[in-house]
Structure 1
């Protein structure tokens, strides 16, 4: 059974969490992305808490800015160091060590950073369609295809982005689900019940979610942008912040139009213990589309 609770972190942030499994068991932590929330992991939380699947304690926080977690208004509060601090503090409250950190989309951005900077906090890392900062920066700087695929980021940093996203029953947000992949077929998961969950989430506020994009320079250049906003063109990342020396599963749905497979090229150079699995016929929303397949890959990786 999934329980919900709020964890107050020592630095003044509170994260609302969804949890299954007994305290004291090995911990799996699941980090969601945009424009989602912790509930996207419910099926996996229940699966991995069962004794026959490992009997793990499973914790899925809502990242800062989402659902009932703290939502600072200042975009600077969403810089990577703050997001990483949140998850490191949450791990400390959950016993100080994870069996595996599992993450998708923006959650993956946090997870890549945490695994590179504090690898002692976990035994393993599992990434689902979330670009490694090294290959993402390379593609944003050099690939017109990636720049075009990521152009939506420059919409989300607009000062009126929240109001525009909320228009017409969140028309633009539904389009993220229906247009970021194959044109037909995979959207059967977007039922009225799931839509109701998302409406409840988005009505709680969109400033926090948009602030992830406002705080990050990993965006394509904008035509006519001011000189003080060069986006990814001005970014360099030290090599030691990019290397992940942990067993790492990378699940990559190949029909993800925002994150083309070119992002996988050279990834093994940063992640020498990588287990890369390409998934045909799935989009960015693979956790929704094929939860049983995701669970099976994770189960095999955790053995």
Structure 2
């Protein structure tokens, strides 16, 4: 059974959370765009007999605090939210699980606050150092990330909401898992506002450059600030159209304890397509965390 609660953080932000399981090690799960915490329900229910699982709607998403200022969605604020959530729930978490934008937050958190987690399980989320390199030097990844420029438009949320979210459904491709019931869950989340979700893109310098003055050209990510020394499992769906294999090149430099698992048939939406694979990876991480 999925439980719902609001987590009120010391710095004034609250996160609407979903949870399952009442005993055992702690698992925190972070969703991506254009998703919400409900995407983890099957994973949490499968883990509930052995772990206490919590999946928050991140800042800006349905039911959680949604500041109006774009600057409120810069990485340091997103990391502060998750760090405070872990401390409120009982630090450290045994496993932090993250996908897409949740993964962007998790990479930074693991590099900056490794004391807050024992293990990291990532799903199709590019490490900031490899993403920066690819956005500067790889034409194919620049083209694959071009949609980010649209999401930074001042009217992006208005356009995305038009005609029953006509521009959002194609993000998922021809997905068998996108049943009428799942569509209704997405509609319910999106209907509560899209400004927060697109503000993640507006606030981030990691997007294709549109001019010589873009911060992408001068951004520096010192190794010390992005090196993740937490044992990390990375599940990578090879059919991801937005995040290409170039993002895996040289990753061991910044994630020395990396277990990279290629999933040839999976797309960006592995959490929906193969929840059992995600569950197995988390269970293995939980077992390793006990050693």
Structure 1 Cα separation of the partners of residues 218 and 150 of structure 2: 20
Selected match of 1:188 from 162, 171, 176:
176
Q: Which residue of 2 aligns with 1:8?
A: 8
Q: Which residue of 2 aligns with 1:234?
A: 218
Q: What stretches of structure 1 of length at least 5 have no aligned partner? A: 179-183
CA RMSD of aligned residues (A): 1.1
Q: Which residue of 1 aligns with 2:38?
A: 39
Structure 2 Cα separation of the partners of residues 138 and 242 of structure 1: 13
Q: Which residue of 1 aligns with 2:195?
A: 207
Cα shift at 1:232: 1.7
1:267 has 2:271 as partner: no
TM-score (norm 2): 0.96
Structure 2 Cα separation of the partners of residues 126 and 193 of structure 1: 27
SS across alignment from 2:176 = helix
Structure 2 Cα separation of the partners of residues 298 and 57 of structure 1: 12
Deviations 1:97-141 (A, max 9, x none): 100100000000000000000001111011100000010000001
Q: How many residues align?
A: 287
1:197 has 2:185 as partner: yes
Cα shift at 1:231: 4.1
Q: Which residue of 2 aligns with 1:28?
A: 27
Structure 1 Cα separation of the partners of residues 155 and 203 of structure 2: 16
Cα shift at 1:299: 2.0
Cα shift at 1:302: 2.7
Structure 1 Cα separation of the partners of residues 135 and 12 of structure 2: 34
Is contact 1:220–1:231 with CA below 8 Å preserved after alignment?
no
Cα shift at 1:212: 0.1
1:216 has 2:204 as partner: yes
Cα shift at 1:234: 2.2
1:99 has 2:83 as partner: no
Structure 2 Cα separation of the partners of residues 173 and 235 of structure 1: 30
Structure 2 Cα separation of the partners of residues 113 and 246 of structure 1: 12
Structure 2 Cα separation of the partners of residues 7 and 298 of structure 1: 23
Q: Which residue of 2 aligns with 1:244?
A: 228
Deviations 1:50-97 (A, max 9, x none): 1xxxx1100100000001000001110000000000001100111121
The runs of at least 4 aligned residues of structure 1 exceeding 3 Å deviation read none
Is contact 1:219–1:231 with CA below 8 Å preserved after alignment?
no
Cα shift at 1:22: 1.6
Cα shift at 1:158: 0.3
Q: What stretches of structure 2 of length at least 5 have no aligned partner? A: none
Q: Which residue of 2 aligns with 1:19?
A: 19
Deviates more, 1:286-295 or 1:269-278: 286-295
Q: Which residue of 2 aligns with 1:181?
A: none
Is contact 2:121–2:281 with CA below 8 Å preserved after alignment?
no
Cα shift at 1:159: 0.3
SS across alignment from 2:166 = helix
Cα shift at 1:294: 1.9
Is contact 2:95–2:285 with CA below 8 Å preserved after alignment?
no
Cα shift at 1:2: 1.0
Structure 1 Cα separation of the partners of residues 139 and 53 of structure 2: 40
SS across alignment from 2:243 = coil
Cα shift at 1:301: 3.2
Selected match of 1:72 from 48, 61, 67:
67
Cα shift at 1:298: 2.5
